């Protein structure tokens, strides 16, 4: 993650299965066979990062996140010599060497102007390396439209411009295709709409509040 606001790992994991689906679908398209270096930028609470080590047992997996709360939760998934977690802002991340698989799931919508960042990440890949990126495109959903309207209202405008990302915080699929192709990558781009039946007390509020 890149926001400096406090994150709630327990609240986030309340809908862990639903949140994992885009990550699982994304990684299913990654054809790396025996990568040595795998990095998860914006690793959150670390469970999905640890799954990368299960898929590629010979890889050294590193998760990077800026949230102390998420990193504290991720520590339970660390495996000495195989899975490590470190504090860092994805905008400033610099690897020690080329990366075989670079993953970023549900992060870039918090990073304005991230098209340039994608170019930099592409340049960090090893030969035949993979860049796997998933960006939520839900800013026109009723929940997000309502939140954006509240943040623009006189009562709540003092919270600051970052309280609700703008509708143009993400590109459309064609936009990402063009950016990544322009970075010299062979691109497989697609868009998926996930429909979740959320249960429990105020589940929609719980979903939005935990992110």
Instruction: Tell which phi-psi region holds residue 94, choosing left (phi > 0), alpha (psi between -120 and 50) or beta.
Output: beta
Q: Report the alpha-carbon distance of residue 206 to residue 211 in Å, rounded.
A: 9
Digit-coded pLDDT (tens) for 27-73? 999 999 999 999 999 999 999 999 999 999 999 999 999 999 999 99
Q: Could you give the 3-state DSSP secondary structure of residue 97? A: coil
Q: Report the alpha-carbon distance of residue 103 to residue 114 in Å, rounded.
A: 15
Residue 71 lies in a domain: yes
Digit-coded pLDDT (tens) for 143-169? 666 677 777 778 777 765 555 556 668
Tokens of 168: 């143009």
**Res. 4: pLDDT tops 50:** no
Residue 4 lies in a domain: no
Q: Report the alpha-carbon distance of residue 157 to residue 72 in Å, rounded.
A: 32
What pLDDT, on a 0 to 100 scale, did the predictor assign at position 13? 54
Residue 41 lies in a domain: yes
Residue 16 lies in a domain: yes
**Res. 3: pLDDT tops 50:** no
Q: Domain range for residue 78?
A: 9-135+170-197
Query: What CATH number is given to the structural domain containing 105?
Result: 3.40.50.150
What pLDDT, on a 0 to 100 scale, did the predictor assign at position 1? 45
**Res. 123: pLDDT tops 60:** yes
Digit-coded pLDDT (tens) for 85-119? 999 999 999 999 999 999 999 999 889 899 999 99
Residue 80 lies in a domain: yes
Indicate yes or no: pTM above 0.75.
yes
Q: Report the alpha-carbon distance of residue 7 to residue 13 in Å, rounded.
A: 11
Number of domains comprising the chain:
1
């Amino acid at each position: 993650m890149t926001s400096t606001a406090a994150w709630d790992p327990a609240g986030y994991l309340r809908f862990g299965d639903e949140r994992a689906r885009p990550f699982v679908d994304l990684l299913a398209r990654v054809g790396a066979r025996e990568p040595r270096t795998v990095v998860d930028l914006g690793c959150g609470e670390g469970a999905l990062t640890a799954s990368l080590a299960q898929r590629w047992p010979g890889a050294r997996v590193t998760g990077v996140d800026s949230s102390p709360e998420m990193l504290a939760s991720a520590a339970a998934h660390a495996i000495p010599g195989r899975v490590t977690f470190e504090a860092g802002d994805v905008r400033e991340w610099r690897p020690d060497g080329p990366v075989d698989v670079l993953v970023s799931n549900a992060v870039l919508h918090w990073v304005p102007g991230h098209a340039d960042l994608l170019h930099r990440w592409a340049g960090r890949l090893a030969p035949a390396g993979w860049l796997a990126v998933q960006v939520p495109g839900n800013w026109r959903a009723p929940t997000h439209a309502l939140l954006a309207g509240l943040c623009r209202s006189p009562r709540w405008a003092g919270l600051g411009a970052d309280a609700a990302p703008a509708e143009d915080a993400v590109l459309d699929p064609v936009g990402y295709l063009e950016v990544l192709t322009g970075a010299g990558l062979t691109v497989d781009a697609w868009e998926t709409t996930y429909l979740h039946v959320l249960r429990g007390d105020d589940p929609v509020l719980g979903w939005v509040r935990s992110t």
